[in-house]
């Protein structure tokens, strides 16, 4: 608190504080532009809600494929590893640019030309790679004896994954999954680079209209209003899981 109070005092007492306040914190512009920017923010929420369930399913499949044993599964494991390494290695904004401008440029009638579609598609490709690693960590954290016990009960490997391994793994990785989706919510703003009228693009339009940066503060407030509750919810899940594990240890 002392550090933040000192920073606030230093900023307010800076020689250029009046200019900064006029450029970024104009209350009249904030009040006038907030409804329009908030309306554009609905597109970001929509993209997030579409991408998230798709990522959850595809990433789990990718993590399971990567963990398949035996030489027969080797080609599938190699493809899964290559996919994760490739899309984790490319910046998200480059994937969005290449798909958003490259796919419509092919001129194929059956390909969508919507910038929102290709923005969501790019986010799904990138975040599937990241989330699959979270799932993989959860799957590997389940002791091999659990799989052996499932097999001894007559379950097939697929049934063991469905009823024994995956439920335990998913419960363990819920907090890091939520952290990834907080990042996904913020990265929806990158879709503005291909022309989608989302919160960032709308804020940029308003900024050029007023020659004032207050619309970007409006956009930042909206993102904070979404991400802080998600962050606190993640902390709650972590604390609840820790308490459950401690209680289980006491009972044992």
Q: Report the range of poorest mean pLDDT among 5-9, 39-43, 191-195.
A: 5-9
Instruction: Report if residue 88 sits inside a domain.
Output: yes
Whichever domain contains 63, its CATH number is 1.10.3720.10
Residue 231 contacts residue 182 (beta carbons within 8 Å)? yes
Instruction: Report if residue 156 sits inside a domain.
Output: yes
Instruction: Report if residue 251 sits inside a domain.
Output: no
Q: Band the pLDDT of 148: cuts 50, 70, 90.
A: confident
Residue reference for tokens 């391994």 = 165
What pLDDT digit, counting tens, does each position of 70-125 carry? 888 889 999 999 999 999 999 999 999 999 999 988 888 888 889 999 999 999 99
**What is the spatial distance between Cα 105 and Cα 160, in angstroms, rounded to a whole number?**
46
Instruction: Report if residue 141 sits inside a domain.
Output: yes
Which of 89, 80, 48 is CA-nearest to residue 178?
Answer: 48
Instruction: Report if residue 118 sits inside a domain.
Output: yes
Q: Two tokens at 127?
A: 């975040």
Instruction: Report if residue 99 sits inside a domain.
Output: yes
Instruction: Report if residue 13 sits inside a domain.
Output: no
Position 248 scores a pLDDT of 64
Greatest CA separation for the chain: 75
What pLDDT digit, counting tens, does each position of 118-136 carry? 999 999 999 999 999 999 9
Q: Which domain holds residue 136?
A: 49-197
* Single pTM value for the model: 0.87
Q: Band the pLDDT of 252: cuts 50, 70, 90.
A: very low
Residue 67 backbone dihedrals phi, psi, to 5 degrees: -95, 5
Domain count, the chain: 1
**What is the spatial distance between Cα 25 and Cα 9, in angstroms, rounded to a whole number?**
17
């Amino acid at each position: 608190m002392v550090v933040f109070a000192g920073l606030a005092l230093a900023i307010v007492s800076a020689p250029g504080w009046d200019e900064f306040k006029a450029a970024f914190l104009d209350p009249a512009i904030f009040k006038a532009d907030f409804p329009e920017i908030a309306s554009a923010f609905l597109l970001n929420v929509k993209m997030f809600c579409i991408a998230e369930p798709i990522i959850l399913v595809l990433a789990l499949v990718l993590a399971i494929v990567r963990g398949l044993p035996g030489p027969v599964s080797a080609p599938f494991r190699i493809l899964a590893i290559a996919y994760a390494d490739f899309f984790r290695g490319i910046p998200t904004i480059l994937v969005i640019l290449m798909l958003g401008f490259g796919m419509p440029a092919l001129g194929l009638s059956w390909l969508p030309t919507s910038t929102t579609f290709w923005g969501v598609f790019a986010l799904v490709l990138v975040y599937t790679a990241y989330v699959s690693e979270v799932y993989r960590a959860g799957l590997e954290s389940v002791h091999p004896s659990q799989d052996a016990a499932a097999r001894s009960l007559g379950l097939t490997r697929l049934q063991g994954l469905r009823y024994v391994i995956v439920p335990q793994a998913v419960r363990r990785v819920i907090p890091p999954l939520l952290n990834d989706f907080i990042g996904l919510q913020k990265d929806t703003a990158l879709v503005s680079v291909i022309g989608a009228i989302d919160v960032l693009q709308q804020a940029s339009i308003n900024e050029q209209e007023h020659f004032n940066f207050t619309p970007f503060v409006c956009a930042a407030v909206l993102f904070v209003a979404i991400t802080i509750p998600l962050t606190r919810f993640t902390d709650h899940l972590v604390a609840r899981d820790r308490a459950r594990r401690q209680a289980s240890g006491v009972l044992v």
